Amino acid sequence: MSTVLPRITDEQRRARLGHRHLLAPGRRAARVEGVADALVGLHASDAATVYLSACARLAEPSAGEVERGLYDDVTVVKLLSMRRTLFAVTTELAPYVYSSTARAIAARERATLVKHLHAHLPDWDEERLARTERAVLAALAERGEATTAELGKVVPALRDTMVVSPGKPYEARQSVGSRVLRLLASDGHLRRARPRGSWTSSMYPWALVPQLPELPVREAKAELARRWLASYGPATEADLKWWTGWTLGDTRRALADVGAMAVELTEGTGFVLPEDLDGGETAEPWAALLPGLDPTSMGWRQRDWYLSPGHVPALFDRAGNIGPTVWWNGRIVGGWAQRADGEIVWRALGRVGRDTEAAVAAEAGRLSAWIGAVRVTPRFRTPLERELAA
C-alpha cells in the first residue's frame, strides 16, 4: 500500500523563498551576518556578488555594512567549500562548513598542487612546499597582511611559475604563489583581507586567522544539511547533493540524520525538516534585483518552479553561471545590468503587469542609490547582461 505524501505546491515554495531569503521588504535584515546565515552562505567567487547579494536583503543597504562583517569585525569569512566554490559564511557556521566540506576540498587541492609541482617544477616536492608555507605564515605573522606579490618579495619561492594545461587552447602560466596562498586559505590558515581599491576589486591582501576547529564529519554534514533545509526546503535529494557537492551516500545519510520528512513536489519527492511541514508563510508582493551567482538564483539544481526553461539561454553563460536576474513574487522574470554611465537597466523576459514594473523600478532606484559612483561588471557575463550593458 503506497503512502500518500504531504504536498507542497510551487506557490507555497515561492512564498517561503520570499520570507526565508529575506527578499520580501518586511523580512530584510539589519546586519550582514543575518543575511549570510539566512542563505547559509553568500557566493563569493565574484568579489561584487557578496555586496550585491547582501544589500538586496538589508533594510539599510551599504557597502560599509558588508565591509564591517568581512574586514572590521571579521564575523563573516570566505571558505572554498560547497561545490569547490568560494562562499562567505558567518564565523559561527564556519566550523561546520569547514569540517563537512571545505576540509576534504583542501586535501584534494593539496594533492592536485603537489602533482602539478612534480610534473612542471622538478625541484619542488612536499618538503619544499611545507617550508614555503611556513615561511608565508611567518611573514604574515610579522607583517599583519600582504598581497601575494608582496609576499613574493620576502618568500622568493612564491615567484616560481609553471605552465598549466600545456598544449591546450587554454594553456596558461601560473605563479606558484597564487596556488600556495589559495591552498593555505583552503586549509583555514588565511583569510582575504580588505581589498586594495573599491569593494569590486579582487586585489586583496592575505591575513592570518585562528585555525578552525575540526568537528566530526558526520555531525558537521548533518548540521549543514539542517540549516540548508531550513532555508531552501522543501528541496529534492538531488538539490542538496548538487548544492553541497557531496556523494549520494553522504547526502542521504545527512537527510536521515536530521530526520528529514518526505513531501510531494511538482518535480517529485522532496524533503523538509520535521518541524517545517507547514511553513505558514503568506504571499507578500516583492521584487528584487539579484546579482550573478546569487545564492537564491543558484540554490537548487531543479529550478523550473521559479525559472522558466525558456529563459535559461539569456540568463546563463555556457558554464552554467547565472547572471543578474529580476524577480517578482518568487519567479525570475527578467535580467538587469549596469551601463557605463551607471544607469541600472532591466528587461522582462515576457509580459509583466504594471505592478511588477513599478516594483522593479523602485528596486532599481534603491540599488542605484547605494551603489553610487561604483561600476559593477559581473565576472561571468551572460547574453542578456551583455546586451543590456552595451
Rounded mean pLDDT of the chain? Answer: 94
Q: Is the pLDDT of residue 164 over 80?
A: no
Does 85 score more than 60 pLDDT? yes
> What percentage of the chain exceeds 70 in pLDDT?
99
Would you mind telling me the total number of residues written for the chain in this entry? Answer: 390
Model confidence band, residue 345 (pLDDT cutoffs 50, 70, 90):
very high
Question: Of all residues in the chain, what percent carry a pLDDT higher than 90?
Answer: 87
User: What is the pTM (predicted TM-score) of this model?
Assistant: 0.93
Q: Is the pLDDT of residue 1 over 70?
A: no
Q: Which amino acid is at 159?
A: R
pLDDT score for 2? 59
Task: Quick: pLDDT tens for 108-151.
Answer: 999 999 998 888 888 898 999 999 999 999 999 999 999 999 99
Banded pLDDT at 197 (limits 50, 70, 90):
confident
Confidence at residue 281, expressed as pLDDT on a 0 to 100 scale: 78
Taking residues 170-185, what's their average pLDDT?
88
Per-residue pLDDT at 330 exceeds 70: yes
What pLDDT sits at residue 172?
Answer: 78
Give the pLDDT of residue 169: 76
- 3-class SS string, the chain: CCCCCCECCHHHHHHHHHHHCCCCHHHCECCHHHHHHHCCCEECCCHHHHHHHHHCCECCCCHHHHHHHHHHCCCEEEEECHHHCEEEEECCCHHHHHHHHHHHHHHHHHHHHHHHHHHHCCCCCHHHHHHHHHHHHHHHHHHCEECHHHHHHHCHHHHCEEEECCCCCCCEEEEHHHHHHHHHHHCCCEEECCCCCCCCCCCCCEEECCCCCCCCHHHHHHHHHHHHHHHHCCECHHHHHHHHCCCHHHHHHHHHHCCCEEEEECCEEEEECHHHCCCCCCCCCCEEEECCCCCCCCCCCCCCCCCCHHHHHHHECCCCCECCEEEECCEEEEEEEECCCCCEEEEECCCCCHHHHHHHHHHHHHHHHHHCCCCCCCCCCCHHHHHHHC
Residue 103's pLDDT band (boundaries 50, 70, 90)?
very high
Q: What is the pLDDT at residue 344?
A: 97
Domains for the chain: give ranges and CATH numbers.
110-208 (1.10.10.10), 287-389 (no CATH)
